[in-house]
Chain A
Amino acid sequence: SQTIHQWPATLVQPVGSPLSLECTVEGTSNPNLYWYRQAAGRGLQLLFYSVGIGQISSEVPQNLSASRPQDRQFILSSKKLLLSDSGFYLCAWTLPRGELFFGEGSRLTVL
């Protein structure tokens, strides 16, 4: 069966510090992978998606970046965090009919 894991689950970081959130998928190959952000009380904002290794599409210009070094690994990074980067980050992959399967989420608080 397919599973998706992301970590860390919770992170508290000072402004200006770097960030690395990791997501891995098991039980499937060549998935479309996504990073979403959910700010407090808001809907989901698509940040990045990837259709293959090394292929990243950015939806929103910002100080975040994404990389896909392996088929089932998707990483969200930042060199210097801003207060506005706080939120709940969700990794997901797409099933054949377009439905998304989400990870457990990573809650980031930037102080």
Chain B
Amino acid sequence: GDSVTQMEGPVTLSEEAFLTINCTYTATGYPSLFWYVQYPGEGLQLLLKATKADDKGSNKGFEATYRKETTSFHLEKGSVQVSDSAVYFCALSDRNTGGFKTIFGAGTRLFVKA
């Protein structure tokens, strides 16, 4: 079945450092790929998405490119801020007979120090 694997955390960075969180997936069809972010005590919010191969999703300085050849969707940001401290989830969504079903990775906690 479909699955998502993302790098384990926590990841601790200093402010203005470069961020990469790796994510790879397995899927039988042609899923859409997503990154969600969860700030402390809150629900999840969509950060960015890509719906087909070679698409690049971007939002708030974060980027991820849908790489079909490597089945990857790595999250990057050139300069992190303290306010980026959160848990980041990679996910894929595939349409089936029951509508969309979304599979999540385990999440990667990011700490950014001032």
Contacts and interface: CB of A to CB of B under 8 A. Distances in A.
A105 B42 contact: yes
A57 B49 contact: no
Contacts of A57: 98
A103 B38 CA distance: 12
Contacts of B81: none
A110 to B, nearest CB: 19
A52 B95 CA distance: 16
A32 B106 contact: no
B102 interface: yes
Contact of B93 (A43, A44, A90, A98): A98
B102 to A, nearest CB: 6
Interface of A: prevailing SS: strand
* Most B C-beta atoms less than 10 A away, residue of A34, A43, A101, A105: A43
Contacts, number: 63
A102 B44 contact: yes
B51 interface: yes
Contacts of B44: 44, 90, 92, 100, 102
Interface in B72-114: 89, 91, 93-95, 98-107
A94 interface: yes
Nearest to A96: B100
B49 A44 contact: no
B46 A98 contact: no
A32 B100 contact: yes
A43 B105 contact: yes
